[in-house]
Amino acid sequence: MARLIGHILVLIIVSLGSNCLHAQYDGLEKSHSVSKKNNFTKRLDTSINEFGDTIIQEVFEGGPKSFSSNFSKFNGIETFFSPIIVSELYLDIGPFWGTYFKNNLLLAAGPQATTLLSFNNKSSLSGGAFAFARVNIGRVFLQPEYRITNIFEPTANQRQWIGSPVILGGILSNGKSQWASVGFIVNGKLANASPFGAFVFRFGFEFN
């Protein structure tokens, strides 16, 4: 009876030992497999040097994205030109430099110049600056901005700096490199100096 119990104990010990060895072997295999942890990818690169020796190296790729990776530079220009009548030409142009945040929010600013060429009366030229925030929702965007322009103000009969919020909405091309927008000038003084009144029409494209 004692011999039988001894054989049973030996079988149990052998069985447990083989399971432990198998578990350890599995652990060794996993240490050499490709694994991912904390956004890092670990893989083994095997190469043979000039002496014929096999070299195994651990390579870590990826990792957590830095906060700066959420930003991307975006430079563009907005313009509109239109012959109002046969003897006049209106041209507005405004280059800007900006930054996209997560490809949805564009913050930008730049100079702006406007000219009204008249072949019968005096031509006018005005300039200023603007800054805006563009929020993209798919291919449609909303663009609130602020513009300050040095223009001739008829009621004061002199040139003045006039600022105004401008609310625009528009549509983007597939690659966001071209767009068209229409908007509304809030300040009536600046609207009176525009040949289109309170309405704003613009075309834009990206440049590098």
Identify the pLDDT of residue 53. 73
Identify the pLDDT of residue 167. 96
Q: Residue 82, by phi and psi: left (phi above 0), alpha (psi -120 to 50) or beta? A: beta
Collect all residues with Cβ–Cβ distance below 8 Å to 82 and sequence separation of at least 6.
89, 90, 201
Identify the pLDDT of residue 25. 38
Collect all residues with Cβ–Cβ distance below 8 Å to 57 and sequence separation of at least 6.
44, 45, 47
Give the residues of the chain that fall short of pLDDT 50. Answer: 2, 4-5, 10, 13-14, 16, 20-34
Identify the pLDDT of residue 55. 74
Using one digit for the tens of pLDDT, what is the confidence trace for 115-172? 878 776 767 788 999 999 999 999 999 999 999 999 877 677 778 899 999 999 999 9
pTM: predicted TM-score of the whole model, two decimal places:
0.64
Collect all residues with Cβ–Cβ distance below 8 Å to 77 and sequence separation of at least 6.
93, 94, 95, 96, 204, 205, 207
Identify the pLDDT of residue 190. 85
Identify the pLDDT of residue 146. 97
Residue 201 phi/psi, 5° resolution? Answer: -125, 135
